[in-house]
A and B are shown apart, each in its own frame.
Chain A
């Protein structure tokens, strides 16, 4: 399991765990960050905020927030 902030641009991953306070997890859960959901990282420059795609919507997350989302990277190459 790694942090969402460590997933490279173009890679997809599955949400395994949400850490951080209840206020944070509650808020992101409502946005669709539920366990087992697939996330695709659209932009991650290694510093600063990241942009991800999840359930058809694009969401920008601060790096600190992305660190609280623990994921498992999908095997195999990504298309496109």
Chain B
């Protein structure tokens, strides 16, 4: 393969609506030869793959999943801009055999763009199962283009699809499909608009497409013409005002065209046939049973994550990282203390933290991949939406937030299943208020010494307090930043189907790798910096710069009864990892002997109100470096990461002061 001479380079774009198995097709074609990044200047994931097939150098670009090509969303703009600006040799449209009618709406839109098309009809097996039969050759004849049946999850037809695309790329000029038409009245309007536009449309936009989009009221194209051809716009604007509802008519005529195209080719099941999906949905989408099922499913997810991942995490820590650190300490016995300290306590410790996340992420992404792939995720969103929609979250926010109890890192990464950008950002912003196991470990360690027999009650109340804060903050952000703007809840409910191992494995692989690459380096750097601050300038934490920082914050600490700089420093080091609070207290209180001794020592210097305040601050303190790193990674900008740090810092200080002042009165 490699030795063969490659003489052609073909760019193929993969288009399709959500839930059609487009990424499965992409994965089948590219395997590990894929590159994942972001679309330039956007926070939308871009997947590209390069491979050689029959002496052709193929560049496959996965366009974002979109329902149409009107500028309603970032994804839709990206997809059409790519086709218009880059002019791929061929566009492959992937459709779902069970939802052909809706899926073909995108075909009707694509046919207005100057690019040859091949249609792949995926999930033929699921369709057969539900009594839907499609004659692809009849469809091909009606459309005047190639139509390839697929079962991408079993790698059936994918090869034929690629061959068809390559063949089309070489015979582009022969591409002459049937195109949808609109009503005679609007056709005349289109001619008028085109006449006004003549010679005024900037490259690379085709004039007939621009005219159609103007008639549809597309915001981006309207703006383009307003700015680039103001004179033409005046005339066109007058025409458009008389046809404001044209877009509804255009959508209708597209669906009429689709109906004509597929009528002869698709045989549907008789009415009244109860499918597997109907039966499963009786329970899964029921307001009561559905919720119960959801709790059960998430319980299992939680249990699996911790049963499978935690033993590995422990083993990595005790069996790998600590022995390595001990060994290194031994080897480095001759070098300056600052060097071995930085290396072992700073860098190796940071790397160890990164490593401990890996098993959790692998298990978590695998389970999430399965739930998404079989179609359950949409159901879970449906049953929870009514409870969280009013605070600006989407049903799909529930799972990431819930998993935040385990670890905030996969929770933030998991928020990408939320399609609505605002709901996704809000979910990410609120995630650090969900107490993760690291924070719970600290409070369960300290609570018995601080509160004696009330420890369990206090711990539970602290968790409840965090959730109340989460609701209040959610409502506040929704109200202040988003002005209570309603997010429309419109969601497709895909038919249930079996999961595909390859798609899920690649999903796990890509996400875990992305975490190690992007977040990993940040965690190691933060860990090294915090260590340096605790060492410089005299090699002693008691007189270090970190201690000075602790002293600076003492006045604020005093408002919540935490005037001791050591407590503040312990909180600050939790930035590296939440559990660090305990280790730092151990160092600062000089108590290496026993854990109980340490907790008692801390208890001795804290009054009950101050102890409560310390716990509240610990529970709501700034997110750990790993969480901050993934917030940056997922939102694509440091802005949101810093906003989040500021938000949580403010929440923890205000809550600490309020709790202390109130508790003191009681």
A-chain residues with CB within 8 Å of residue B277 when the two chains form the complex: 58
Given that A49-B385, A55-B255 are contacting pairs, would A24 and B492 also be in contact in the complex, using a CB cutoff of 8 Å? Answer: no
| 7 closest cross-chain pairs (CB), A and B | A80-B272, A62-B489, A29-B251, A30-B68, A58-B493, A55-B101, A34-B252
By a beta-carbon cutoff of 8 Å, the part of chain A in contact with chain B is 18, 22-32, 34-37, 42-43, 45, 47-49, 51, 55-62, 64-65, 79-80
B-chain residues with CB within 8 Å of residue A23 when the two chains form the complex: 72
User: Complex: how many Å from CA A36 to CA B287?
Assistant: 30
A-chain residues with CB within 8 Å of residue B666 when the two chains form the complex: none
Total contacts A-B at CB 8 Å: 110
A-chain residues with CB within 8 Å of residue B217 when the two chains form the complex: 22, 26
Q: Are A26 and B274 in contact (CB under 8 A)?
A: no
Please, which residue of chain A has its CB at the minimum distance from the CB of B103?
A57
Shortest C-beta distance, A61 to chain B (Å), equals 6
Q: Are A43 and B248 in contact (CB under 8 A)?
A: no
B window 352-388: CB within 8 A of A: 378, 382, 385-386
* B640: interface (CB < 8 Å): no
Interface residues on B, range: 35 or more
* B70: interface (CB < 8 Å): yes
User: Complex: how many Å from CA A66 to CA B148?
Assistant: 36
Main secondary structure of the interface of A (DSSP, over half): mixed
Q: Are B491 and A60 in contact (CB under 8 A)?
A: yes
Shortest C-beta distance, A9 to chain B (Å), equals 11
* B604: interface (CB < 8 Å): no
Q: Are A34 and B490 in contact (CB under 8 A)?
A: no
User: Complex: how many Å from CA A56 to CA B14?
Assistant: 23
Q: Which of B268, B287, B389 lies in contact with A56, CB distance below 8 A?
A: B268
A-chain residues with CB within 8 Å of residue B67 when the two chains form the complex: 27, 30-31
Q: Are A57 and B490 in contact (CB under 8 A)?
A: no
Given contacts A26-B72, A31-B102, A62-B389, 17 further A-B contacts (CB under 8 A): A25-B247, A25-B248, A26-B216, A29-B247, A30-B68, A32-B102, A34-B251, A35-B248, A42-B278, A43-B281, A49-B382, A55-B255, A58-B495, A59-B492, A62-B385, A64-B486, A80-B273
Please, which residue of chain B has its CB at the minimum distance from the CB of A80?
B272
B-chain residues with CB within 8 Å of residue A59 when the two chains form the complex: 490-493
Given that A22-B217, A51-B285, A59-B492 are contacting pairs, would A32 and B255 also be in contact in the complex, using a CB cutoff of 8 Å? Answer: yes
Q: Are B490 and A28 in contact (CB under 8 A)?
A: yes
Please, which residue of chain B has its CB at the minimum distance from the CB of A30?
B68
What are 7 sample pairs from A and B whose C-beta atoms fall under 8 A apart? A29-B252, A49-B385, A57-B99, A60-B492, A62-B489, A65-B489, A65-B490
Q: Are A80 and B101 in contact (CB under 8 A)?
A: no
B-chain residues with CB within 8 Å of residue A31 when the two chains form the complex: 67, 102, 105, 490
User: Complex: how many Å from CA A7 to CA B492?
Assistant: 19
* B115: interface (CB < 8 Å): no
